[in-house]
Amino acid sequence: MSLPIGVLSLQGDFREHSQTLDSLGLENRNVRTPQELESVSGLIIPGGESTVIHKLAVAYDLYQPIKEKIASGFPVFGTCAGLIMLASEIIDGTSDQASFGGLDVSVRRNAFGNQLDSFEADLDFVGVEGVVHAAFIRAPIVERIGSEVEVLSQLPDGRVVGVRQNNALGISFHPEVTGENRIHALFAKTVRTAH
């Protein structure tokens, strides 16, 4: 069975996600229209700027369909801005910003802002053997976790940077920029199990 993975390609580093899926030999498609959304078995929401991704999703008639699909269990994987787009609550968002939902978490945008804009770290990640080398770029942090949410990864100081709830996976960092493809492989497994 063909289970193409969609990459929401409105803004941000969607090309790097396509390349990461290519490196795993996984069929993938850009998603920019409701028809393209209907043709995929799961969706990656890339890093970029969550306020812009939200605005463009509304403008491209994708906001409501994506939100509804996620609510009915469609597999999704958000990285950085994509994690913000999956959070049930956005802290430090703009007043008109909205997410798709999918993860019962509160996520703070630009959580490292005054401290460190961008940095890299080696992390443990549930379901991945060995360390994950992670790039954080104006990254969000998960500050509250609902009772149904599983923590997959934390910084050494305990701050949460990877979560899963049912078929929704969200991470604060960018595996697609460090040549790390094992979290994409984990998501592909979720897509296969869901279908």
Binding-site ranges for ligand GLN (CB under 6 A):
47-50, 80-81, 84, 109-110, 137-138
Nearer to ligand GLN, 42 or 93 (CB): 93
E-only strand ranges, 80-127: 87-91, 103-108, 118-125
Q: Which of 54, 80, 180, 184 is catalytic?
A: 80
Separation of alpha carbons 42 and 152, rounded Å: 20
> Between 138 and 182, whose beta carbon lies closer to ligand GLN?
138
Task: Judge whether 143 counts as a catalytic residue.
Answer: no
Beta-strand runs (E) in 4-84: 5-8, 28-31, 42-45, 76-79
Cβ proximity to ligand GLN: between 18 and 41 the closer is 18
Residues 127, 152: contact at Cβ < 8 Å?
Answer: yes
**How much helix, strand and coil, in percent to the nearest 5, is found in the chain?**
30, 35, 40
**80 belongs to the catalytic site:** yes
- State the nearest-atom distance from the C-beta of 109 to ligand GLN, in Å: 4
Please identify which of the residues 176, 180, 184, 195 carries the catalytic annotation. Answer: 176
Question: Is position 49 annotated as part of the catalytic site?
Answer: no
Q: Which residues are catalytic?
A: 80, 174, 176
